[in-house]
Amino acid sequence: MAAVSGAFVVTQTSLSSKHHSPSSSPTMLLGTRAFPMNNKTARGLIRCELSSSSVSALQQLKKSAIDRYTKERSSIVVIGLSIHTTPLEMREKLAIPVAEWPQAISELCALNHIEEAAVLSTCNRMEIYVLALSQHRGVREVTQWMSKRSGILVSDICHHWFLLYNKDATQHLFEVSAGLDSLILGEGQILSQVKQVKEKLRNGFGMVIPGLFEKAITAGKRARAETGIASGAVSVSSAAVELALTKLPPGSASSATMLVVGAGKMGKLVIKHLVAKGCTRMVRSGIPVSDICKHWFLLYNKDATQHLFEVSAGLDSLVLGEGQILSQVKQVKEKLRNGFGMVIPGLFEKAITAGKRARAETGIASGAVSVSSAAVELALTKLPPGSASSATMLVVGAGKMGKLVIKHLVAKGCTRMVVVN
């Protein structure tokens, strides 16, 4: 008897003098069937049998890949993009409003390798905490989800993210809750935001991640109660107010008019701090920042420079090549004379030169008209021919544009005008 491949197959000659008599007809066993054999044909044939250990080994081989997967322990993972690693424009695209956290958590938990999830999305960070069945599969699925939701390429997300697992992920959340990872050390607003996450996790989103946030809140409270980390801490909003006040003459806060951009929670906190500092005159934009972001465009470096040059040349105007915009760019340059840096003033200086060259070296301004003259021409088409001198024209606005409109109306023979400021 000879063993082949360890314990998997045992081979044995099927004929020997002690196993049969000349009068008996030997057989060859194949599976469960027996085939008659004679001495001539049987010589040298072998019988293959599986030993009990072979069966066990084969079953283990078939199940090994599945066992490795099913026996893998679930891991706590944080996928984070913060002010320390990620530019503002990317954080804005990745941000998830508080009202949408439950929906986002539900979508994350529906992924194949995610058991539990939580979302911590603030001005300075976007962090997703998950309990993953498989670290690599879970991270890949969450990253693809983030990419699909934000429109940012997976490769760009991976370039700026940080990944922490288990003990490191837990320690990071505790540091966040304690204010150790904040833009301003020890600021208290982040603890309130961690509490918000815990509130969103109340409705049956697992046990491990909610428990983790519960302990993080406790750690944040203890850090502030048992250490001096919060003794000199300020929030981002109060720091912004302090910085703004340094730009005012001493004692002029009560008479200065403060502009607050944004009507969201941060804007309200800024107003609160301004009032505490004695500011009584404030102008606040009534449009939330989120609504502003829906309609703006962002350009950087080379693209921003090219855009300004096109504006100065009249390529971006309502009326192609109109000259008024060049005068307005010059006005900006005049305002920048009093020590407002070097880069931006230099940029506007070059834009003015580009605008002048565009008009001098091309035909862009040959048929150009201003917006005000175009508006007058359009208005006159609504009148009967030859009636401009007898018609009463209504001009809305008494600013520079209104004055230009009046100038063009007079040039067209209009003598009766009503100006409404």
Closest by CA to 102, choosing from 79, 119, 121, is: 119
Write out the H or E segment, with its range, that includes residue 67. Answer: helix 52-70
Cα 273 to Cα 286: distance, rounded to the nearest angstrom? 18
Instruction: Decide the pairing of beta strands 9-13 and 2-4.
Output: antiparallel
Contact 283, 259 (CB under 8 A): yes
DSSP notation for 80-131? EEETTTS-HHHHHHH---GGGHHHHHHHHHTSTTEEEEEEEE-SSEEEEEEE
Closest by CA to 92, choosing from 129, 121, 118, is: 121
Cα 386 to Cα 393: distance, rounded to the nearest angstrom? 14
Q: What are phi and psi of 48, to 5 degrees?
A: -105, 125
Active-site residue list: 123
Tell me the CA end-to-end span of the chain in Å, nearest whole number. 111
Alpha helices by DSSP H, listed for 208-288, are 208-226, 236-245, 265-276
Residue entry with tokens 């200086």: 349
Q: Describe the crossing of helices 189-200 and 101-109 by its angle, rounded to 10 degrees.
A: 60
Residue 36, judged by CB atoms within 10 A of its CB (0-12, 13-18, 19+), counts as exposed
